[in-house]
Amino acid sequence: MRAVHLSDLHIHGRSRLMDKVIDLTNSFEPDYIFLTGDLVEDPEELPVCLDYLGMMKSKHGIYFSPGNWEHWSGTLKNDLASQLRSVGVRMLNNSGEVIEWERERLFLVGIDDDYYGFSKPHRAFESQPTNVCTILLSHSPLGVFSARPYRCDLVLSGHTHGGQVRLPWIGALITPLGSGPFEQGLYTFRFSQLYVNRGIGTSTVPLRFMCPPEVTYLTLQGVDAAQHS
């Protein structure tokens, strides 16, 4: 299964960067697109954001979980779910659903922002089937710990922006509250794998240094459990 993971768009009007993001995303011809929060900081930017989201093409669906800016901007309270639905995006907010893939099934679950929002993993995972691969969309990477009581194979998150400013041998100078020990890339736990996307836009300071925007392309492949028992 081919998927694209995007996070932290932080859209401020139309931009050449977002045009490139849309073109690159569609060039992968993904089966699914996963969005992990922070679309806009100002609700007046939401129409532009929706236009961009409507340009994204996936074969089987686009899914979104909210971040802290969905709360701070007020868009979540202003019926964001139905506005996203109008451009073909399904919001998972403390909820999950089974998606069909080839002859198999996956459980896709999304939680509210784990640090600034109202994460309720017990509600999100309550319909989780047994023996089905589970993917969690969580804006904050701390969601990997919230999901620990449940069986979760892969967690996709953002929020950190990779620090926006990184230095050789040092890494991120600072990351936002709610990042925990995570900055960017893949982390492996005994109970799950976590991927932290650097995001597209910027927040607070409109600057990136040695920390480019990221469109993550994922190839998910099943394994024979009998061979890895």
pLDDT, tens only, 41-86: 999 999 999 999 999 999 999 999 999 999 999 999 999 999 999 9
Which candidate, 172, 182, 181, places its Cα nearest to that of 210?
172
Question: What distances in angstroms separate CA 173 from CA 139, 147, 194, 208, one per listed residue?
Answer: 21, 28, 21, 11
| Residue 228 is assigned to a structural domain of this protein | no
In this prediction, residue 228 carries a pLDDT of: 44
| Residue 165 is assigned to a structural domain of this protein | yes
| Residue 69 is assigned to a structural domain of this protein | yes
What single-letter amino acid sits at 85? R
| Residue 6 is assigned to a structural domain of this protein | yes
pLDDT, tens only, 91-107: 999 999 999 888 888 99
Full domain range(s) for residue 105: 2-220
Q: Which stretches within the chain are classed as H helix?
A: 16-27, 46-55, 68-72, 80-85, 121-124, 143-146
Which candidate, 141, 162, 156, 154, places its Cα nearest to that of 210?
162
| Residue 229 is assigned to a structural domain of this protein | no
pTM over 0.75, yes/no: yes
What CATH number is attached to the domain comprising 28? 3.60.21.10
| Residue 226 is assigned to a structural domain of this protein | no
The 8-class DSSP code of residue 38 comes to: -
Question: What distances in angstroms separate CA 209 from CA 112, 165, 167, 171, 227, one per listed residue?
Answer: 29, 5, 8, 11, 44
User: Could you tell me what percent of the chain has a pLDDT over 90?
Assistant: 87
Give the number of domains in the chain: 1
pLDDT, tens only, 167-217: 999 999 999 999 999 999 999 998 899 999 999 999 988 999 999 999 999
| Residue 108 is assigned to a structural domain of this protein | yes
| Residue 225 is assigned to a structural domain of this protein | no
